[in-house]
Each structure stands twice: as structure tokens, then as C-alpha cells.
Structure 1
Amino acid sequence: MKTILERYAKQIRGVIRCFDRVLLQGSLPGVGFPSGMQGFLTRQGTRVFDFAEFSKPLTEQLRAIARTLADDHGLKIEHANRRTFDKEAYVAKVPAERGDHPGLVSIISAMEVCSTYEARIDPKTKKPVLRRDNGKCIHYYYYFIAPDLGLCHLRVSTWAPFRLQFYFNAHNWLARQLEAKGIGFKQVDNPFVDIDNFDAAQKIADAFDVRRLHQILDFDVAHFCPIASVFNCTYHWGLMQIEYATDIVFKSRNALQDLYQPLIRVAVQAVKADDVMLFFGRKRLAAFQGELETSLRTREMGTRIKHRLGRSSITAYDKFGVVLRIETTTNDVSEFKQYRRVVQRDGQVRFKNAPVPTNIYSLNPIMKDLLGAANQRYLLFLSTLHTPTAGIKALRKISEPVRNQHRPYKGFNLFLGSDQLVFESLARGEFAISGFRNRHLGALLPGISTSQASRLLKRLRLHGLIKRVPGSFKYYPTTLGRGATAAALAVKQLALLPAVDLAMLAK
């Protein structure tokens, strides 16, 4: 069986596999849990019930840093005071005005939910303790263009334990790497619609350096949230959300649409629960209790099909009409398993299949390989589906108008009564065996003149429905003509007449 990449090789420019959106969470390991923060306060000689008073000066420090950075860069801190405020849409307009040179782009503040601690009396020990709690505090979103990563943002919580979120898009990172290597490319939004050397670009994408990413994170934290030294530790970074995309770049819009539109409509019916489990590398489990869902949705940018399993999903959609993107997203990397070294509670070391660690060093190569394999399994599944692609091309050929010697000849409509009569005439068995001439067609179509029959014959021939015997005026239906005739009769017998019959019965 040939894969989609093999079947459509002549219509494909190339394939690029790369991380897309990556969202990381930063936490202070020593105080990122209640007992850790409580122990820190005790060592500082601070009472547990003074936790809020301890946090306030640090909150003011972070707010002062935001104001100073805004003044230094000539920016205004934009407050997102409504739920409908679209931060990304707001920031997307800024580079067009300021350019895409590195530096701070925008600062947005928002009052949002944060995880924190609350001091309580433990009912068993009767002693004060910290417990997890949810609260609300100001969060600062620092949007900036990094030399390596492009447009990123760092979300800073201004209340203890001061968790962070960092976002970047690896397609923007890859674009900068290609520029540095002198490899030409064309990028629309984040997908690449052309790359001069797809193989070289893939090697660069595969070599994404997590250690370099960690250095960038440490630098940005020191710049925007320099409070880790208070707790005598550095931020620990974990994987919060990852998207890994396989982009198949087609040479033309028609080449992709002929494949994609019928493919996803067949896929939404064909994909079963067991298939989705296998896409993610899971075994078929009758006892699986998680959420599993397949959905089809049409958006402004195109149509997408999504298969969701737990907190992960696989999506296929067309980007800008020429890119078929297959993308696996996970909001919990521990849903994936890796054969690795595990230190058990009793101190023994074993090698076994265990959940992927959530730290950023699992990004590459572990998650790259696991998510890339999910994309590949889904692509192979799509390759097994039978789609009416050839029929769509044939229907387009017979329905679109053509010109010959500056004269227009309209296409054929299988639902139009006059065209239905033409196809019913072509369906006669003797025409396929002995052929037919102008007079035969005129006799079967009432009210048609000889000149009109001649023009109809030329119209049929220009659309590839009939062919003429060389040196004569005899015609035979072509393979396309026989197929179109069968389709026209099926439309009438299986769709039009039953629909009209039901409508009459309903009156």
C-alpha cells in the first residue's frame, strides 16, 4: 500500500516536522508545595499566619519592575479588564508597527486565578499549617521578540508561590535558524509554504537544543521576575502543553483540496475508538474510562478533524489551502510512556515503561519522537482510506465551462433536466457497441435541430465524454462518459425521484 506521500509525490513540495506551540510552566521547587513554603517561612522566623504579609513586598517588587520596564521601553501597560480581551490578537498588531527586531513588544496585566496557600489550624495537630488554595492576583504578560525564538511571552504571577508560564512557537524558531543558515523559505503565519531545502530544514528542526532553551529561560526570568534568589533556588521548568506538527506542503491549492476534503469526511466516519487508542501508541483496552472524542469543524482558515483521548489530541487540517497539517497536542506528557530507568521507593533501580517525566528535558528527543510517531501512525491510517478523489476530478472536468476557438461551451449539470436527457441518451447500449451519429442523438432529444445536435456533440467531446472515430462522423462514449452517464442515472433514480416522492407523500 502506498502512503499519501508516495501517491501524491509529484504534487508535494516537501514535508517538514517541527514543534509548534510550546507552553512551559516555571515553579520554585523549594516552595512550590505547602510544606516547602511552610518550612521556608519557619527557617526565616516568619509565622505561618504571616504568609500574606511576607508575600506583599515581593508582589510590590514585581509590580515596580513592570512599571520600570514599561517606562524604559516607552510602553503603556495594557490592562485586560474584560474576558473577551484577546491578548494574542492585540499583540499581533504591534510588530507591524514597531518592526520585528528583538526586544520588549508589549506588557499586558490581567486579574486572573492563581494557585496559592492559605494558613489554617490543622484539626489533628492543632498547629498552624499551609494548605493549597486558589486566589486571584495580577498577572503580567511580557511579550517580547527573542533573537532565537521570535515572538514569545512570559506570564508572571505576582503572588506567592510566583508560578510562571512561558510560550514560544518553534516554527518561528526554525525560521530564524533557516535565515542564519542562508536557506530560503516562505512562511505564512507560522506554517512554511515553501523551503529551498526541506531535508536541511528537517535536520535543523530535529536538533532543537533544550539546553539553549533553558539558558534563554534563565535569562528572561532574571530580567522579568528576579525573585528566585529570595528563596535560594532557581526556577524548575515543566512541560505544560506541546504541539508537534507534520506539515505536508503541496504545490497548489487544487492538489491539496482534491485530496483533503473527501479524505476528512471519510475519516470522520471511519475512525473508531480503538483506532484513536492506536494513534497514541496505546493498546486496545475495553476497560478504558477516559474521554475519547472525534469531531469535524469548519473554520475560517479551513476544515479540521480532531480525535481527542484524555488530555491529548490528534488534529488534521489544511493551512492556507496548500499545507496539510497533522498535529499531535498534549496537555499532559505523563499520558505517554517511555522505557526508562526508574528509581523505586525502596531504592531499587528498574528499567520499565513509565510515564514520561514532565521536565523540559523530555521535550527533545523523547516527546519529539513520541508525538512524531503518533503523527506518522495517523498519516498511515489516512493512507488506507478509500476516497473518491478521481471522481471529484472527473466531476469538476465535466461541470466546468471550456473554450474552443474563442467560443464558450458550458459544463454539464447532473441535476439539470436537459442534461439528464443527454446522459440517458448516451446510456443506450447500442451506442457503446456500434457508436452513434448526429441524427441518432437528434432523434432521442425532442425539439433539437441538426445544428444544435452538432454543437452538443462538440460540447460532449470537449468535456471528454465522447470520442470521434478518425475519418468519420461516428462517436463512442469514453470511459469518463460511461461513468458520468451511470452517475447521472444514479442521481435521478436514487436521489431525485425518491426525494420528490417523499415530498408528494408529505402533502
Structure 2
Amino acid sequence: MADYATLLRDHVTLKCRSIDRILLQAFVPKLQTAGYVCRFLRWQRGFKIPSSAAFGKIGEEYVKRIRDFAKANNIPVVRFEKGQNKEKLARPYFEAAAREGKKDRVVLIGVAQEKARVWRSWKAKGQDKVAHPHMEWGRQMAYINHFYFYIWDSEWGKTFWKTNAYAPYPVWLWLNGHEWAKQQLKKAGIGYEELDNGFRSCDDALALQKICDRLGPGAAKSFFWRWLGRLPSPLTEEDLKAGYVYDLAFRHMEVSDTCVFDRPQAGRMWFEGVIRDHLDVGRPHQVSLVFDRNIRGTTPGIFQTRVITKGTNPALTCYYKSSLIKQYFKEGKALRTETVICNTRDFGIGRRVCAQNWNALRAVGESANRRLCDAELADAQPAPDVATFDQVTRPSVTEDGLYAPGLRFGDPRVMAILASLVSFCHLVAGFTNRQLVERVGSFMQQPYRRRQATYDLRRLKRKGLISRIPHAHRYQLTSLGRRVAVLFTKTYGRTLAPGLTMLDLRLPDEVSRRSSLAIAWRQFEQALEVYIDRRLIAAGILIVL
């Protein structure tokens, strides 16, 4: 079978890096504290007693405007049932809008009861019988109606806008970078073939990549403000002029890297090798095979799990804090590597939507995608040569004259360290002394302390297996380090340990008879004993036991 690098070099017809799904939250900064809420109700809206009842009146008016808006524009309104696939239900409406070619319209309004944090007020202690009681405020969880506006936009294609009628009146926006790129290609007159949430082919691949690189926060903000003026809103023009203005924040962002193979077999060969090699080496938290049919206890037949089978979509996922990297075979045609950022704070990046944060998140995603692919390619490279192996396993001296203790192959502590370092979760932001202690401790049967980790980090660095990230107390594997770690882990975990287990004389006969290695070894021992006995007898030597 061709190696990973050959498949990606010779059998890929289109490569595309793009921002994928984006979930933004719009919030009103001046409605985020109890003081601001009371000021809004008393002085902006004129309610004598700021309370939940006042917000209730505003909410009722807002719901009425939504109904009038739907009726005036002939927009169907659907109430979603619990567990219903909203995207699937809205798909026919989007397809109809695309066929009709109409620009910028709401194709469907959905209503779903969901949990949300809302402002609630209650009478302060001892104020029950007071004519004008003092109200205390707080946020509480409540099941309330949320309104989904499914929008066909000339710039973004399929989108939706989610909101509710309860203060602080949040808005959630769902956008898709691939859909945005499709609309830009249409405007430029460049032909392309669609892949679900992506591209199968494009007449001008270079222009496609330039369009994807052009997507920035300005396009998202333009969409929000354009539709804020068209859709019903609980805030009036007077509220906006008084400073009750929305701001945008990141809630979810996906950065993808797609490689389209020239034929499905090449893609499946790639995944077959990757998943086989990383069931133990990469140690992702989840290596999953997602079947495209349901299997129940009553389903007839015998079912066995295989790495790659027909009708199976292989997927590899690894996690970092609340974010993750996933890699899967898309529609049997393309390799999709995707970094999903669920919390920008995981990477020390702010949540407000601005050019600085947008570019920083995109850089994190593209770097993580590239590191994952590079790590997989490095795992498929030939093992280090004998000289390198000798330099790693024996004590040596660095160019600066520093002593570097050896990393003995088979030593439990060394094997635990290297096995923990090949984890994919270190690709995103490296690892710290503390993380090394936690991971190595889970591999070893004895305590592993931070002082030991400090010593091991020092010798790993002097051997050139890790490097320190500038301006941080974090480390990452070098190319040599990953090759050595993979060699040690594969050899020990797949060859040495299983082989020695099969050769154990204490192994029960019923188990050893099922092992070809154990059978061959015992046959060799028997043949060797017979040979020695014959030679001893021929020499006239009698051994009495």
C-alpha cells in the first residue's frame, strides 16, 4: 500500500483551507447587570417599578411583532418537537429558495422550547406588604420559547438567526464559511461542484483559496446589522440611539482543511493506514467508526467491528480542553481535518468579534490541522537509523558540553514517557510539566512526581526530542522526537510485549495452542533438546538428572 505522503501528494485533486461553521452570540452590554436592567426599565422604557412583569410586557409585544412579520411575508411557522432534526426540516425550504433565486428572505420560522438564563425579579425580604416594594434581581434558568429565523442570504447562503423574547434578549447567529465562498464563486462566475458543506471540484482552485482567505469579521458583522434592521426586535430605534446596542462574541468556530481524492479507494487506503497506526500510537481520546445504519438487539446476523468496511465512515477525534480536532472521510471522497474551537479562552484569545481575535482563532485552527497531518505523516516515515538509535539510548554529550542521560529502550519509565508524548492532544498547545506528570502517572504502576518530570524533560531536550515553546513553560515534540517515540511505542507495544507474553511458559496450553509464535517457539525448544540429547549420546556422555 502507498504511504500517507504518496497518497496526499499523488491522489489529491483539490485542497481547500477555509473557515467552516461559525456560531456567534449577539448581546447587549448594557443589559448584563442588574443596575443596567433597572435603569433600562425605569428611565428608558418608563416603567415605574422595574420588575419581571415589565419585561413580560415587552416580550409579549415582541412575539406579536414576530407573528405579524410572518403573516405579512407569508413565512411558514413550525413548532419543533423535542429531538427533531431542525436542519433536516429546514433543508427543503432552503432548496426552494435557491431554485427560485430570490434574494435575502426568511424561508422559515421555527419555535422550540429550550433552556436559557433570563432576568427575573422578586420582592426583597420584608417588602411583601409595601406599596412600592424594593425588587431584587438575578438570572435564573427557565424553559422558554426560542425563535429560529432561517434566512437565505445573498452573501452567506443558508443561515439561521435564533433569539427569544426574554431579557437580556440574546441573539445567536449560525453562519458557514463554505456557503459564503459558494456565493462569492457564483458572483465571480467561477464554476464548482458541491460537496456537502464543501467543494468537490472547482474550475479555479487558486481563486477559491483566495476567496476563502478573504473571509473576515467584516462579513459577519455586515450580515448581523443588515438583518437586525429587517427582522423584528425587542429593542426600538430609541433604545439603539440611547446606547443599548448589540455586540458580537464567538461561541463556536470551525477551521477546516479539505483534501479531495481522485478516487474513493485512495481515501479509504489513507484512512485504513492512519486509523490502524493510531489506535495505540496517537492515543486520541476517541477513534470512532460511525456506521450508517442502526444495529439493535433484534437485528439479524452476526456483526463484527472492522477498521474499514463498506458503508462505514471512519473518524478520528482528539480533545483539548473544551475544543477538539476531528478528521473524517467526507462522503467517501474527501479527507476533512477540522479544528473545532468551542471556547476561545482555551487559547488565550478574546471572545469579541474583531479582526485580531478572528485572525488569531484562524491561525490556531490552521496550525492545529497542519500539525495533525504532519504528525500522521511523520509516523509513517522510516524509523531512525542505527546511529540515531544509539545516540538516544546511550549517554551522550551535547554540543554545549552538557551531559545527556540515555533513554533505555524497554525501561518502564522511558516507555511511559514516550507513549504519553505521542498523544495528539499535545499538537494544539504543547504540554507542561504538570501534564506530563498526569499522563505518565496513568501509564506507570508507581508514583511519578514533578521532580522526576523535570529531570526527564531536561534529558529529552538535550537529546533533541523536545523543544521549549518561546515565552512559555510548555514543550512540544520535534520531528526526531516523534519518530523516536513512535518507534519505541510501536516496537514495544506491538512486537516485544505481545511476543514475550506468548513465549511465557506459564501461559495455559489452551491459550498457547492458539498462538503461532508460541507453537513455533515450543517446537524449536523441543527440536533443540532432541538435537542436544543426540549429540551428547553420540559423544558417550551420560547425564543423570
Flag whether TM exceeds 0.5 (same fold). Answer: yes
CA contact (8 A) 1:335 1:356 kept: no
Query: 3-state SS of the aligned residue for 2:30?
Result: coil
Alignment of 1:381 onto 2:398: no
Distance 1:363 1:202 in 2: 21
Query: 3-state SS of the aligned residue for 2:380?
Result: coil
Which residue in the other structure is 1:115 paired with?
117
For residue 245 of structure 1, report the CA deviation from its aligned partner: 0.5
Q: Structure 1 pair 236/124, CA: closer, same or farther in 2 (3 Å)?
A: farther
Q: Structure 1 pair 8/85, CA: closer, same or farther in 2 (3 Å)?
A: closer
Alignment of 1:250 onto 2:230: no
Q: Which amino acid aligns with 1:158?
A: A
1:333-378, CA deviations, whole angstroms, 9 ceiling, x for partnerless residues?
11113xxxxxxxxxxxxxxxxx334335455322111111111111
Which residue in the other structure is 2:328 paired with?
317
Distance 2:5 2:35 in 1: 54
Q: Structure 1 pair 14/98, CA: closer, same or farther in 2 (3 Å)?
A: closer
Which residue in the other structure is 2:24 paired with?
24
Q: Structure 1 pair 245/299, CA: closer, same or farther in 2 (3 Å)?
A: farther
Distance 1:127 1:163 in 2: 27
CA contact (8 A) 1:312 1:331 kept: yes
Query: 3-state SS of the aligned residue for 2:168?
Result: coil
Distance 1:108 1:385 in 2: 48
Distance 1:4 1:127 in 2: 69
Q: Structure 1 pair 64/138, CA: closer, same or farther in 2 (3 Å)?
A: same
Q: Structure 1 pair 299/217, CA: closer, same or farther in 2 (3 Å)?
A: farther
Alignment of 1:168 onto 2:175: yes
Distance 1:124 1:358 in 2: 41
For residue 387 of structure 1, report the CA deviation from its aligned partner: 9.3
1:290-342, CA deviations, whole angstroms, 9 ceiling, x for partnerless residues?
xxx334232437111111122100000000111100000011111113xxxxx
Q: If each structure's strand is expressed as a fraction of its own residues, which one has the higher value?
A: 1
Which residue in the other structure is 1:146 paired with?
153
For residue 226 of structure 1, report the CA deviation from its aligned partner: 2.8
Query: 3-state SS of the aligned residue for 1:159?
Result: coil
Q: Which amino acid aligns with 1:370?
A: V
1:250-292, CA deviations, whole angstroms, 9 ceiling, x for partnerless residues?
11101111111221232232124xxx7xxxxxxxxxxxxxxxx
Query: 3-state SS of the aligned residue for 1:223?
Result: coil
Which residue in the other structure is 2:483 paired with?
none
Q: Structure 1 pair 38/141, CA: closer, same or farther in 2 (3 Å)?
A: same
Distance 1:3 1:127 in 2: 73
Q: Structure 1 pair 124/149, CA: closer, same or farther in 2 (3 Å)?
A: farther
In terms of mean alpha carbon deviation, does 99-108 or 314-323 score higher?
99-108
For residue 72 of structure 1, report the CA deviation from its aligned partner: 2.8
CA contact (8 A) 1:24 1:237 kept: yes
Q: Structure 1 pair 498/148, CA: closer, same or farther in 2 (3 Å)?
A: farther
Q: TM-score, normalising length from structure 2?
A: 0.60
For residue 89 of structure 1, report the CA deviation from its aligned partner: 0.7
Q: TM-score, normalising length from structure 1?
A: 0.65
Q: Give % identity.
A: 18
CA contact (8 A) 1:104 1:144 kept: yes
1:422-461 paired onto structure 2 within 5 Å: none
Query: Where do 5+ consecutive residues of structure 1 fail to align?
Result: 277-292, 338-354, 389-492
Q: Which amino acid aligns with 2:142?
A: G
Alignment of 1:365 onto 2:365: no
Q: Structure 1 pair 5/235, CA: closer, same or farther in 2 (3 Å)?
A: farther
Pick one of 203, 207, 210 that aligns with 1:203.
Answer: 210
Which residue in the other structure is 2:82 paired with?
83
Q: Structure 1 pair 78/385, CA: closer, same or farther in 2 (3 Å)?
A: same
Q: Which amino acid aligns with 2:90?
A: V
Pick one of 248, 255, 265 that aligns with 1:237.
Answer: 248
Distance 2:344 2:107 in 1: 31
Distance 2:359 2:160 in 1: 24
Q: Structure 1 pair 266/387, CA: closer, same or farther in 2 (3 Å)?
A: farther
1:232-255, CA deviations, whole angstroms, 9 ceiling, x for partnerless residues?
322111111111100011111011
Which residue in the other structure is 1:305 paired with?
316
Distance 1:296 1:46 in 2: 56
Distance 1:265 1:314 in 2: 18
CA contact (8 A) 1:334 1:358 kept: no
Pick one of 195, 199, 202 that aligns with 1:192.
Answer: 199
Query: Where do 5+ consecutive residues of structure 2 fail to align?
Result: 128-132, 293-311, 383-501, 504-508, 516-545
Q: Structure 1 pair 255/295, CA: closer, same or farther in 2 (3 Å)?
A: closer
Which residue in the other structure is 1:329 paired with?
340
Q: How many residues align?
A: 359
Q: Structure 1 pair 198/33, CA: closer, same or farther in 2 (3 Å)?
A: farther
For residue 499 of structure 1, report the CA deviation from its aligned partner: 7.9
Which residue in the other structure is 2:187 paired with?
180
For residue 4 of structure 1, report the CA deviation from its aligned partner: 4.8
Which residue in the other structure is 1:54 paired with?
54
Query: 3-state SS of the aligned residue for 1:118?
Result: strand
CA contact (8 A) 1:14 1:250 kept: yes
Distance 2:356 2:339 in 1: 16
Q: Which amino acid aligns with 2:342?
A: N
Distance 1:262 1:358 in 2: 41
Q: Which amino acid aligns with 2:112?
A: A
Q: Which amino acid aligns with 1:384?
A: A
Distance 2:48 2:282 in 1: 58
1:2-58, CA deviations, whole angstroms, 9 ceiling, x for partnerless residues?
99566632211121011111111111111123332133234345456x422221232
